[in-house]
Amino acid sequence: MRTFVISLQRSIERRKFIQQQLDKLSLPFEFFDAVDGRAMTEQYIEENTNIVLVRQEINFLNRGAIGCALSHYGIYKKMVEEGIEVALIMEDDVIISPSLKGILRRVKDTITTEDLIMLYFQSKNPVEITAQKAVDMSDGHKLQYMIKYGWVGAAGAYILTKSVAQRMMQIIHPIHTVADSWTTFKQERAFNYFRCVLPFPVRPAGLKSEIDYLKEGSLYARLANAIDKYKFPVLKQVLGAKRKRSLRKMQNYLLVDEDPFKTQIFSI
């Protein structure tokens, strides 16, 4: 299994942050240079997006979101072109459990060509995850089926096969939605089985986004950027704590006992 870490070339500290964790696990990986939303030309955006939708959803599909989606698309394309059968795709702002290496070995033995496996996710409403057909991983972790869900997000750590990458590549480009529209991708049959590892072996570090998801020019965006730029210690701590609280609230699921092959449904 290949491991790719999506990271902006200019994000030196983040690269050190994730590399130290992966080196500690002796887990080989490759940095994949993210598409920098700030550097994209208007022509590049028009050539690689559904520009009508982008203009309609300018606050949702801003430059940062487009760059992020194109970065993930770039790895799907690489997997297909180079014949990479299975890959872990990560972003550079996550905290990794020491169990990850053992989990990856087990996942490689059990993943099917129709699986999308999340190592963590976010959801506004509880995602129902069944105990049936669970597979033991490493150190008490289990690979389980997600069976009832509405919006499921986060693209910080997930595993997919070349078959899924090929379908994802065809669905996502030209860019018309964000990289973590997993429910949409599931409905469009990029993958048939939605699984996750519990407890999450990867979690968000709560770092400030470097791809500028915030609405440009908004009061919150200006305040967050000023705090980060000028390093106001107390305000920086408050903002960081707020990010982490928000992320914890979104890690939302319920364990149930249902047949996963009869009950995978989308529900708001």
At 159-185, the pLDDT tens digits run 999 999 999 999 999 999 999 999 999
In this predicted structure, the answer to whether residue 57 has a pLDDT above a threshold of 90 is: no
Cβ atoms of residues 261 and 193 within 8 Å: no
Task: Name beta bridge partners: 175.
Answer: 49
Q: DSSP assignment of 174-229, as one string? A: SB-S-TT-HHHHHHTTS-SEEEEEES-SEEE--PPPSS--SPTT-HHHHHHHHHHH
pLDDT at 74: 98
Q: Whole-number mean pLDDT of the chain?
A: 88
In 3-state terms, what secondary structure has residue 140?
Answer: coil
Rg, the chain, Cα only: 18
Q: Could you tell me if 130 and 256 are in contact, meaning their C-beta atoms sit under 8 angstroms apart?
A: yes
**Comparison of pLDDT for 208 and 133, the residue scoring more:** 133
Please enumerate in sequence order all residues whose Cβ is within 8 A of that of 5, keeping only pairs 6 or more positions apart, or say none: 15, 18, 22, 29, 30, 31, 32, 90, 91, 92
Checking if the pLDDT of 109 tops 90, the result is yes
Summarize pLDDT for 215-266 with one digit per residue, the tens: 555 554 555 555 555 555 655 454 444 444 444 555 689 999 999 988 666 5
Give the pLDDT score at 150: 83
Instruction: State yes or no: pLDDT of 212 exceeds 80.
Output: no
Return the pLDDT at 243: 47
> Residue 121: its pLDDT value, please?
94
CATH 1.10.1060 fits 2-208+250-266, yes or no: no
